Structure 1
Amino acid sequence: MGDLASRLEVAKLARQLGVDQGGLAFLTDRSPAELKDLRTVAAHALFSRNEDRVTRLAALSRMLPVPITAKIAEHALGPMLSARVAAVLDPREAARLAGRLDPDFLARLAVSLDPGRVAPIVRGLPDDLVVGVGRRLLRAGEHLTLGRFVSVVSVDVALAVVEGASGHDLLQVALFTDEPSSLEAIVRRLPDDLLGEIIRAADADGAYDAAVGLLLSLSPESCARLVAQVGIVSAGAREAIVEAVAEHDVWPAVLPALHVVDAPVLAALVNVPSTLDVAAVDRVVEHARELDLAPVLVQLVLGFDDDHLDVLRESDRLRDPALQEWLITHAGVSGRLVIPVLESLGLR
């Protein structure tokens, strides 16, 4: 799944450098961790450039009344330079100044802010101002900017910003969220119907890789809630999602979630054309063994239809005596249930 994560990191870097994302496409073969480190280095370099001049502007702003400073920021400095100045202001001074700025200008300014540098300022602003600016960014399609600020604001503020947002908007903001723990805290508060809208949006946009990438950022509990919504989309969409899971080998993130998914949803997920491949089945079995998820593997086998059971008969991994012994011992059900199933498949 590193390819998707790397593309997202490149998109963030392109925004940071003010260049077209296509010009940095050569970086997508680097790991997400390497690209995140590069973003940190670039942010430091950009901030250090002309730092003395920015610091002098900040010092000058302290000598002027706040209303005048606000007018200078809006009409002379512009959003990009104002963002640089904000990063060196005292958080309390910056918060007072922000209260005098037009919210539309603040939204344009936010695009150029480094969340790590201005977090104390954002946390000192009134919630209604932050929500208002966030909703302006959402209407402008600034998903990347919103994603970068998710870890800076409270969960209540983040939820207020996306209240009434489309599934497409929710998916894009989630993908660009830097901190998985912050995303997890928000998803835990989202109702199931909104999670369903995210899956529908992924289907409508053909963004199956994105949906699978989102699963990687969530806890098994939240992942299970999202996976449970896959049952609401068409069979073609389910196939595309499972195909993306298999292509990017995201089974280690998905398998723990399947333990709490209802049997009908599980059956709808596993009985798709891409799981009619014995190599794909063996890969799932191998992951289940590595993660010690014998009960999940039993659920998968019991959920397969006749065509998929025929594929299981060809599985070398399920035929392995050591794996069968592990499965019988750790399945959480009587071995008398597992053994007949294996025998009926001609695997034992």
Structure 2
Amino acid sequence: MGTDLATRAELVKLARALGTSTDRVAFAAVLPHEDIRRVRERVVSTLYDEHRAAFQRVAAITRVLPTPVNVRIALRAFPPLLAARVAGEMPPERAAQLADRMPVSYLAETCVHLDPRRAAPLIQRIRADRVLDVVIELIDRGEYITLGRLLDAATEPVIHDVAMTVSTEALLRIGFYAESGEQLTRAVALLPPARLRQVVRDALAGPRELASAGLALIGRLTDDALRGRLAEHAAEADDTALTVLLHTAVNDDAVPVLLTAVAAMTDDAKRRVLRLPALAEPAVVGDLVLAVEKHDLWGTMAALTEFMPPEVRTRFPSASR
């Protein structure tokens, strides 16, 4: 079993905050993902608070200049990193006025460096069409970490527009790096039924990392009914796709997420999933038993074994616990 999905996402975000590679922070994988997040938040606070007074002075100067003049100065004299630091110290309304006049490519790069603690008041005041353009630009650049961080700052109309415009692959990759499970749940809940089904289908049919992102998504939802809908859509997949998902869950240490998803299915869907031929393979059974033992999931597994064929059920000691 590999590093669990929440820890993997936190390591990537920690490496981004430190400006290094995930290999250089891999030692932190021994910590719970909540602790890695706390370390990252302290790193972010330290980095962004350094030299803050200087950026506040620059921000103060912008108050006495007309918006068009500030835009010209920024584009000629401020690289996006410095512009982001100054924007974080400006009144949100003023910073939004500037942002609405700047090129999308410049704004996208600025978002990469924006202080996440001050992003929401600014982003919520920028025109929705501009925000959507910037999101598309960031997706083109593969900036899913940035988009996951900024999801908390997005308003419901913006989330809806993004969810209906960008690819399902992009939605899954953004969701993998989302900061708040509650905000991620609200975003997923905005998807129409057909779009939600397509997200699940593409997660199962795409490369392995999309299956991982799909599992991470299900695991972070705070709405049981919504989790059940996703699980039901997954149960519609063929045996090959479900077998890949099973192996992905084992390799990603995401068996708890998988079992929670299966438990949320209807009884017919449970029978469909728990009668996969792969579940009769000794190696698969062994991997599942190890994962159940590691995470103390005997109760959950015992409730699911009744939906397995008798010859498979007896291979799971959880049935007798």
Identity of aligned residues (%): 27
1:80 equivalent in alignment to 2:81:
yes
Alpha-carbon offset, residue 314 of structure 1: 4.7
Q: Name which of 206, 213, 217 aligns with 1:204.
A: 206
Is the Cα contact below 8 Å between 2:263 and 2:270 reproduced in 1?
no
Name the structure 1 match of 2:55: 54
SS in 2 for 1:304: coil
RMSD of aligned Cα (Å): 2.8
- After TM superposition, the structure 1 stretch with the greater mean CA deviation from structure 2, 89-98 or 1-10, is 1-10
Question: Of the two, which has the highest radius of gyration?
Answer: 1
Counterpart amino acid of 1:214? L
For residues 270 and 129 of structure 1, the distance between their equivalents in structure 2, rounded to whole angstroms, comes to 46
Task: Provide TM-score, normalisation by structure 2.
Answer: 0.84
Matched, 1:287 2:289: no
Cα offset, 1:83, TM superposition: 0.3
Alpha-carbon shift at residue 10 of structure 1 (Å): 2.0
Deviates more, 1:147-156 or 1:309-318: 309-318
Q: Does residue 89 of structure 2 align to residue 67 of structure 1?
A: no
Shift of 1:246: 4.7
Question: Map of 1:1-348 to 2, 5 A cutoff?
Answer: 3-202=4-203, 203-207=205-209, 208-218=211-221, 219-246=223-250, 250=254, 252-255=256-259, 257-258=261-262, 261-276=265-280, 277=282, 280=288, 283=292, 287=297, 289=299, 297=304, 300-301=305-306, 303-305=307-309, 309-319=310-320
Deviation at 1:2, TM superposition (A): 5.9
- 4+ residue stretches of structure 1 with deviation over 6 A? none
What is the aligned residue count?
310
Q: Is the 8 A contact 1:242 1:269 kept in 2?
A: no
Point out where structure 1 has 5 or more consecutive residues left out of the alignment. Answer: 321-348
Alpha-carbon distance between aligned partners in 1 of 2:261 and 2:7, rounded to the nearest angstrom? 25
Q: Which structure exhibits the higher relative contact order, with contacts defined as CA atoms closer than 8 Å and separated by 6 or more residues? A: 2
Provide the rounded CA distance (Å) in 1 between the counterparts of 2:298 and 2:190: 29
Q: Structure 1 residues 159, 66: CA separation in 2 closer, same or farther (over 3 Å shift)? A: same
Amino acid in the other structure paired with 2:128:
D
Q: Is the 8 A contact 1:14 1:24 kept in 2?
A: yes
CA distance in 2, matches of 1:8, 1:36: 10
Give the conservation status (yes or no) of the 8 Å contact 1:192–1:225.
no
> Is the 2:136–2:166 Cα contact (8 Å) retained in structure 1?
no
**Post-superposition shift, 1:164?**
3.1
Query: Distance in 1 between the 2:313 and 2:4 partners?
Result: 30
The 8 Å contact of residues 48 and 115 in structure 2, kept in 1 or not, is answered as no
TM-score (normalised: structure 1): 0.78
Deviation at 1:200, TM superposition (A): 3.5
Post-superposition Cα deviations, 1:234-293, rounded to whole Å, max 9, x if no partner, equal 322211222344556655545454455344532332123453356546949x7363x6x9
CA distance in 2: counterparts of 1:58 and 1:14, whole angstroms: 29
Residue 67 of structure 1 and its aligned partner are, at CA, apart by 1.0
Deviation at 1:157, TM superposition (A): 0.8
Q: Quick check: 131-140 or 146-155, which moved more? A: 131-140
> Which string of whole-angstrom CA distances, capped at 9 and with x for unpartnered residues, describes residues 196-215 of structure 1?
33334333211233322222
